Every structure is written in structure tokens, then in C-alpha cells.
């Protein structure tokens, strides 16, 4: 999912935009991924190329080989440090309290349409 969010931010397109929910589900289950627009794929911008690499990391089909979200975040943080010439990132990590048992995510209907 993390790669899909980055894909949307980078391309302003939904994953498999224009395909039905059923076709999208089949493509994802078969290991297919949406194409990257040429102007983005060929960009010389280090940040864009870094996001493309992070998307590819997230889109590793075999879950056993797919990096964790923390590994992807560390990669992006390291890239940001290189681009900005920083020695460290000033990141504060917090623990959130657990959600109530009856909590419904706002995007529940979206996922229900795709995965059901």
C-alpha cells in the first residue's frame, strides 16, 4: 500500500486508473504494477528517482523479499539527508494509543470495493 500512495503522489493517478476494480485486483494479484509515465521515469531529479526506487521497493511482489515499511522509510530518510546535505534528520517518533475496537477507517468503503 505504501508504494501505491507514493505512486499516486508522484503521478497524480490511481493505481491502474481506468481499469475496473475486478481487473485491478487481478493485476495486483498477478504481480503487475501500473506503468510510470515516461516524463517521470526519465527525470534527472534525484528526489523523483529516489521515490521511484522506494516505490519499486514497496512493489516487490514476494512478501518474503519485500522490505519493511521502516526499511523504506530509512531509505527515503537517507536520500533526503543526501539531497539536503544533512548529518541527521530531526524526526520525533511517538507511540499512538490503540484504536477503539469499534473504530472504522474512513476509507473502509474504498477497500471493500477493491478487495471484496
How many residues make up the chain in this entry?
116
pLDDT in tens, 72-110: 999 998 998 888 887 877 777 778 888 788 777 665 545
Domain of residue 45: give its range. Answer: 2-115
Name the average pLDDT for the chain.
Answer: 85
Find the mean pLDDT for residues 6-29.
89
The structural domain count of the chain equals 1
Residue whose cell numbers read 476494480: 21
Q: What percent of the chain has pLDDT over 70?
A: 88
Amino acid at each position: 500500500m505504501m508504494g501505491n500512495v507514493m505512486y499516486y503522489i508522484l503521478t497524480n493517478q490511481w493505481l491502474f486508473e481506468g481499469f475496473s476494480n475486478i481487473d485491478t485486483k487481478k493485476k495486483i494479484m498477478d504481480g503487475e504494477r501500473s506503468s510510470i509515465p515516461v516524463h517521470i521515469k526519465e527525470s534527472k531529479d534525484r528526489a523523483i528517482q529516489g521515490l521511484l526506487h522506494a516505490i519499486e521497493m514497496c512493489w516487490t511482489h514476494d512478501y518474503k523479499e519485500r522490505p519493511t515499511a521502516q526499511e523504506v522509510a530509512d531509505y527515503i530518510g537517507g536520500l533526503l539527508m543526501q539531497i539536503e546535505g544533512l548529518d541527521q534528520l530531526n524526526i520525533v517518533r511517538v507511540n499512538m494509543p490503540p484504536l477503539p475496537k469499534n473504530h472504522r477507517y474512513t476509507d473502509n468503503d474504498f477497500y471493500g470495493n477493491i478487495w471484496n
